[in-house]
Structure 1
Amino acid sequence: MDFRNKRVLVMGLGLLRGGASAAKWVVNHGARVTVTDLKPRRELQRSLKSLGEARRKIKFVFGRHRVSDFRNNEIIVVNPAVPRETLYLKIAKKAGAQLENEASIFFRFCRNPMVGVTGTRGKTTTANWIYHFLKKKYSHAALTGNSSDNPMLAALDKLDSKSPVVVELSSWHLELLPQSGKSPHVAVITNLYPDHLNRYPSMKSYASAKANIFLNQSKNDFLLLNKDNSWTKFFRGFKPKGKIVYFPVSLGLNLEKFKRAYGLHNFYNLNVAILVARHFGITLQEIKKAIKNLPQIRFRQEIILKRKNLEIINDTTATTPEATIAALGRFRNTGELFLITGGTDKKLGFTEWARTVKKCVKPGNLFLLNGSATKKMVLALKKAGYFRKIKPYIFENLSVLIKAVKVNLKPKTYNLSTTILFSPGATSFEKFKNEFDRGERFNRLVKLHF
C-alpha cells in the first residue's frame, strides 16, 4: 500500500493523540491530507500542537463534516471513536474509498513479531506486564496501542523490525484490522463481558469485533484464551488457525500471595503475561525477579495516596460494572471501605454490581456521581434492598462529592484501616471529556482536600 500523492481524509483528530499521529504519519508518507472533526478548533489545540511541522501541509475542517470530503478522497482513516455505521462512511464506501484506521495501517507496515492484546478488562495491565517481562531480554521491545502515551503510528517508524512489539487493541481498532490482511503472531483475549452496547447491537456483534484479532493467523501463530470465560466457546467457533493455548495454567511459580494482594483478575493478567514471556524465551528466574517490580498502571486501581490508616485508589478506567466488581473483590477486606461510583450508561446491566456493592460497602459509605448509569445503579440497589434506612448520596459535582467523603471520615474512622475507592463502573461523557480527564480531576481534588 502506497500513500504517496493519495488523497487521504482523517476522520476525527480527537483528543488522545491517535488521530493526530495518524494525520502526521500519512503526511510524512506523502499523502495529500484533510482532517475533519466535529469538535471546534479551540477544543483540539493540544492535538493540533502535536502535529508539529506536518500541520502546515494539512487542510482542516472543524465543527462539521462535509459530504464532498467523503466522496472525493481515496482513503479514509477513521478515528476509533467514530461509529462504523455513520452515514459519512457509507457515503465514502459508495464512492469507492478505502477505509482504514491506525491499527490496520500499523499492521500493514509493521515487520516486527507482534503480540496483540484485547479483551473487555485487563488488556492495558496485561499488555504493560508482557512488555515489562520482554524488556528483560529484548532491549528494543516496544509497547503501543490503545493509549495516548505511544500511539501506533507514532511508534511505527521507530521500530527495529525484529524485536517484539506489544499492541493493545480495542474492539474499535479491531473493526478494520482485517483490512490489513494480518493478525498478531501471539493474540491474547483476556476475557469478554458486556461493554459498549451503546455502540454494538448485541454481545455477539461486540465479540465478533474482538475475534478479528485472530482471523488472519496461520498455523504458526498462537491464540491465548481464558478457559474460565463464558465467551471462549464463541471464539473457538471461528475455528482459529493458530494454536489455541488456554490460561490460567500452572507455571512453576507460587502466585497465591500475589492473588491475595492484587485480586483474582490481576492473577489472570499476570498468568497470561508470563505465558507470553515464556514463549519469547524469558526464563522463570528472570520473570520471578521482574514480578517484584511490576509497573503500577495509571488509573487502573492505582494507589494515589497512602498514609498510616488511609489509602485512596483511582480506578477511573473502570467503565463497566464488572470492572468495579473486580476492584471491590480486591479491596473489600481492607477495613472501612468507601466507594465513589457512577457515570454515563452504555446500555449495561447493574444487577450483579448491586449485589456486590451490598456485600462490600455500607450504605453510608457509598457516594454516587450522577449520570444516566447512576440512575440504573440506584434502581438496582433499591431492588437489592440496599437503601433501607438512608437515602442514597447523589452528587452533581465531583468536588462537592470529595468534600462530603472527607466529612464522613469521622475521627474514629482514621483509627481504622480505611480505603476510598474511586471506581465509576460507567463511562464519563456527561461530565468529563473521557475517563482520563475524570481521573486527572479526581487526583487534583484528592491532592487539594486530603
Structure 2
Amino acid sequence: MGLGVQSGGLGVATFMRDHGADLVVTDLRSEAQLANSVAALGSAGVRYVLGGHELNDFRHAEIVVRNPAVRDGSPYLRAARAAGAYIEMEFTLFLRWCRQARVIGVTGTRGKTTTATALHAMLVAGGEQALLAGNMRVSALAQLHEIEPGSTVVLELSSAQLEGLAGTGLRTRGAIVTNLMADHLDRYGDMRAYAEAKLSLVANQRADDWAVIPQGSGWPNWFAARAGGTVLRPDLEEAPPGWLAASLSGRHNHANLALAAAAARQAGVDDEAIERAVRSFGGVPARQELVGTIDGVRAYNDTTATTPEAALAALATIEGPWVLIAGGSDKRLDFAPLAKRLGATDGLRGVVLLPGSGTDRLRPLLQGCRIEAAADMAEAVDQALAMARRDDAVLLSPACASFGLFSNEFDRGDQFVARLRDLGLRLAPGSGRG
C-alpha cells in the first residue's frame, strides 16, 4: 500500500513478488507520477491499482504492507484489520526475516542520517561487515539476501516507520536516539504523540540489548526511563576521537559523531578505528552539502532541513553572507526563532520563498528582510543568484516540508542542483556528483 517514488516501497514490492506473493500494488498517485517505480518493478506477477484504492483488495488481503506515509487510521487499513489481515511495514518484515545479523536502529528528529552513516563508517573501519539502509532511500529488505551471518545492519528509522513496531515485540539489538525536537506536528498533533511514535525502538528492547541516548533533561530522560535494555548516556560536549582533524564542523555534527562513537564502542569497535573513521568522514549529501560554486558564489544543498531548527543550524555552521531559499509545506512548527535570526543577521542578502502553506505562515514574520517569491525551484535559484555577490553562499535550507511542489525533499534538492548545473556550477572536489 503506497509504492511511492523512493526505494522502500519498490524494495518491498520487488522482494514480495520475487518470493512468490500474489501481489497487488496500490497507490493514490497516478501511473504517470509513479512511472519510474512502475518501470523498475515491471508488470510480471503484479496487479496495479493506481490513482486510488479499492476496498475489496484490503478485505481479501492476507498481508498489507503499509508505506510509512500512510496514516495508521486509514479506513483501508481498518478494513484489512477487520478482515484479519496482518499489517506490516518494510522495516517490520526485515526484522522478522533478518536473523543472521545484529541490527542497530537510529532515530531522532535531527542528525539520524549523519549519525547512522558515521556509525556504519566506524564499524567498517573496525573490520566489521556492515550494511547501511533505511530512511535514506536504501531498502534494507531488498538487500536481505546479501547480509552475511554475524554482520551488522545499521538502519535509519523515521517516526512513521517506527509506528509499525508498536505492539509487535520486534526489536533491534542496538539503538540510538539522537534528539527530539518539534517536528511532524501536522501528523501527530503534539510532542507526546510524536515521542511515543519513536518509543518502541528502545521500549521493545530486552535486558541484553542497549540504547545510546544523550545526556540531558527532558525528552532524553523520558526515553531513557522507558528503555528496555542497557542505556548509555554519552556527554555530547566530549569530542569523539579524531574530531579535531575532522572535515565536518558545527555543534550538531560534533553531537552526531559523539553518539555514533558511543554506539561503535558498545558494538566492539576500538578508539583507533573510530578515530580513523571520524578523520575521513565527509558528511552525507543533502545535509549542509557544499555542491560547488558558480561565478564565485558557494551553493549549499540542505534540503533535508525541514524544520526551522535545522535551518538555524545551517546558518550557524555555514559562513555567510547568505541568500536563503526557504519555504514549502507547513508542519505546524514555530517559525518565530528563525524569523528573528534572519531579521537580526547583517549578512543576509535576502530570502527567496518557495510556494506552500508553510511559506504563508513564514512570510509575514520576515520583517525587514528582502523577500522574493518563486513559483518553482529554477526560478528560486535564478533569483537567489541575482541577489548574491561573489563569495556569498546560496543556501537551500527550506525549514518546511516538500509536499506539493516536489515528489519529496530529495527531489527538491536534486532540482536545486540541476538548475545550478544548467547555469554552469563548478562541482566541489569530492562531491560525488560527477
Q: Do both share a fold (TM > 0.5)?
A: yes
The Cα shift of 1:307 comes to 7.1
- Deviations 1:44-89 (CA, angstroms, capped at 9, x unpaired): 221122225xx41122111111111111111111011111111111
2:174 to 177, 182, 186: 186
Q: Which amino acid aligns with 1:18?
A: G
Task: Indicate the SS of the match to 1:226.
Answer: coil
Is the alpha carbon distance of 1:170 and 1:229 closer, same or farther for their aligned partners in structure 2, counting shifts above 3 Å? farther
- Deviations 1:235-287 (CA, angstroms, capped at 9, x unpaired): 2342x22111113354673636759x511111110101111122222222222
1:403 to 382, 393, 396: 382
Say yes or no: does 1:284 pair with 2:271. yes
Is the alpha carbon distance of 1:127 and 1:362 closer, same or farther for their aligned partners in structure 2, counting shifts above 3 Å? same
In the alignment, structure 2 segments of 5+ residues that lack a partner are: 425-434
Task: Indicate the SS of the match to 2:290.
Answer: strand
Task: Indicate the SS of the match to 1:428.
Answer: coil
Is the alpha carbon distance of 1:199 and 1:75 closer, same or farther for their aligned partners in structure 2, counting shifts above 3 Å? same
Distance between the aligned counterparts of 1:181 and 1:141, measured in 2?
24
Q: Which amino acid aligns with 2:24?
A: T
Q: Is the 8 A contact 1:343 1:428 kept in 2?
A: yes
RMSD: 2.1
Q: Is the 8 A contact 2:242 2:275 kept in 1?
A: no
Say yes or no: does 1:24 pair with 2:14. yes
Distance between the aligned counterparts of 1:356 and 1:251, measured in 2?
28
Q: Which amino acid aligns with 1:434?
A: N
1:351 to 336, 340, 345: 336
Task: Indicate the SS of the match to 2:324.
Answer: strand
Task: Indicate the SS of the match to 1:116.
Answer: strand
Q: Which residue of 1 aligns with 2:126?
A: 137
Q: Is the 8 A contact 1:138 1:164 kept in 2?
A: no
Say yes or no: does 1:266 pair with 2:256. no
Q: Which residue of 2 aligns with 1:119?
A: 108
- Deviations 1:361-381 (CA, angstroms, capped at 9, x unpaired): 656422222221112112233
Say yes or no: does 1:379 pair with 2:353. no
Q: Is the 8 A contact 2:202 2:223 kept in 1?
A: no
Say yes or no: does 1:93 pair with 2:81. yes
Distance between the aligned counterparts of 1:335 and 1:325, measured in 2?
13
Moved more, 172-181 or 153-162: 172-181
Q: Which residue of 2 aligns with 1:128?
A: 117
Q: How many pairs align?
A: 422
Say yes or no: does 1:165 pair with 2:153. yes
Is the alpha carbon distance of 1:30 and 1:181 closer, same or farther for their aligned partners in structure 2, counting shifts above 3 Å? farther
- Deviations 1:171-209 (CA, angstroms, capped at 9, x unpaired): 111011135422111111101111111111221111101
Q: Which residue of 2 aligns with 1:7?
A: none
Q: Which residue of 1 aligns with 2:70?
A: 82
Is the alpha carbon distance of 1:22 and 1:346 closer, same or farther for their aligned partners in structure 2, counting shifts above 3 Å? same
Moved more, 25-34 or 167-176: 25-34
1:212 to 183, 200, 203: 200
Q: Find runs of 4+ consecutive structure 1 residues off by over 6 angstroms.
A: none
Say yes or no: does 1:329 pair with 2:316. yes
Say yes or no: does 1:33 pair with 2:23. yes
Q: Is the 8 A contact 1:146 1:169 kept in 2?
A: yes
Q: Is the 8 A contact 1:320 1:426 kept in 2?
A: yes
- Deviations 1:106-130 (CA, angstroms, capped at 9, x unpaired): 1111121111000111111111111
Distance between the aligned counterparts of 1:368 and 1:430, measured in 2?
14
Task: Indicate the SS of the match to 1:247.
Answer: coil
Distance between the aligned counterparts of 1:335 and 1:300, measured in 2?
17
Task: Indicate the SS of the match to 1:365.
Answer: strand
Is the alpha carbon distance of 1:80 and 1:136 closer, same or farther for their aligned partners in structure 2, counting shifts above 3 Å? same
Task: Indicate the SS of the match to 2:233.
Answer: strand
Distance between the aligned counterparts of 2:6 and 2:267, measured in 1?
31
- Deviations 1:394-419 (CA, angstroms, capped at 9, x unpaired): 2223222222222223xxx42xx422
Q: Which residue of 1 aligns with 2:298?
A: 311
Q: Is the 8 A contact 1:100 1:179 kept in 2?
A: no
Q: Which residue of 1 aligns with 2:431?
A: none
Q: Which residue of 2 aligns with 1:72?
A: 60
Is the alpha carbon distance of 1:23 and 1:361 closer, same or farther for their aligned partners in structure 2, counting shifts above 3 Å? farther
Distance between the aligned counterparts of 1:340 and 1:237, measured in 2?
40
Task: Indicate the SS of the match to 2:166.
Answer: helix
